[in-house]
Amino acid sequence: MGTPDFAVPILISLLHSPYDVVAAYTQPDKQAGRGRKVVAPPVKRVAVENNIPVIQPETLKSAEAIDRMADFKPALIVVAAFGYILPRELLSLPELGCLNVHPSLLPRHRGPSPIAHTILCGDRTTGVTIMLVNEKVDSGPILAQRAEDVSTEDTTGTLTSRLAIEGAALLEETLPKWIEGKIKPQPQDESQATYSKLIRSEEAEIEWRLPAEELWRGIRAYNPWPGCYTWWKGKRLQILEAIPLGDVAEGEVGQVVALPGSVEIGVITKRGVLGLCQVQPEGKRQMSVKDFVRGRRDFIGALLA
């Protein structure tokens, strides 16, 4: 049971395991992009390519949904970024329970956006957790964990890719031990629990009255989605890559300034300057800020909103 790219290496690992994958549950197809074209979730695409039955329920709470799952007679359910809370009736179906592959070191960063919040909070270490699912969000007992360093260059995209691979490998190690009864699940320490709320697109608009380091973390956390942006001349300017600098220039908060050194353009923030590296103007391709400014000299000195 999974939906986005994070779940794909985990499904592929199961398909190459000695276990029989009888079905793949994923969220319904959704419209995406400018043309609002209907797009299948990544998990569905992999399942179809491997002739695995795909179920895309609108809800799991109905008697029909429970009966349909029961028809598969699952011995075990593996969950990875599925997007639905599993009801008690479904959790009780498999003899070996439901195992969730979660991209954080629980109990830190429970909830739907653990990877983005890892970067937003400035964590130096994260990881993956395999836990036994219960009725509360990401609060079940832990079977296994594996730590992963967070680089200062990591974005949600790069960290998701690494944690997905680590999660698949950890699941591969853990499943035989769990099936053979060699693992005793350990309860989570509730006093250490934190919750990562769902990311909304409006959160990615840059507020220059925040410190440069906080804005830098946001740019990395909201990459690739929803993408941090500011406004210049009434058009959206996406900031794809930046670096926090000290008080290397003076000016108003939100003012674009020329800088000495390798980072040539920055923006004054509440504390420090945010050096700009890669940007994407509205309706244009991604480019270096140097190329962007070359044809727009009035950008220097402008106030961004």
pLDDT tens for each residue of 58-69: 999 999 999 999
Number of H helices, E strands in the chain: 8, 14
- The CATH number linked to 273 is 3.10.25.10
Both 215 and 142 in a single domain?
no
Nearest to 160 by CA among 247, 238, 87, 221: 221
Both 97 and 181 in a single domain?
yes
pLDDT tens for each residue of 207-254: 999 999 999 999 999 999 999 999 999 999 999 999 999 999 999 999
Distance (Å, whole) CA 22 – CA 20: 6
**DSSP state for residue 4 in the 8-state scheme:** S
Both 226 and 148 in a single domain?
no
- The CATH number linked to 188 is 3.40.50.170
Spans of the chain below 70 pLDDT: none
Distance (Å, whole) CA 191 – CA 146: 21
Q: Is residue 305 part of a domain?
A: no
Are 257 and 273 in contact, with CB atoms under 8 Å apart? yes
Q: Which DSSP helix (H) or strand (E) runs through 175?
A: helix 156-179
What are the strands, taking DSSP E only, across 68-136?
Answer: 77-79, 98-102, 125-132
- Residue 214 is part of which domain span? 201-299
Give me the chain's average pLDDT, please: 96
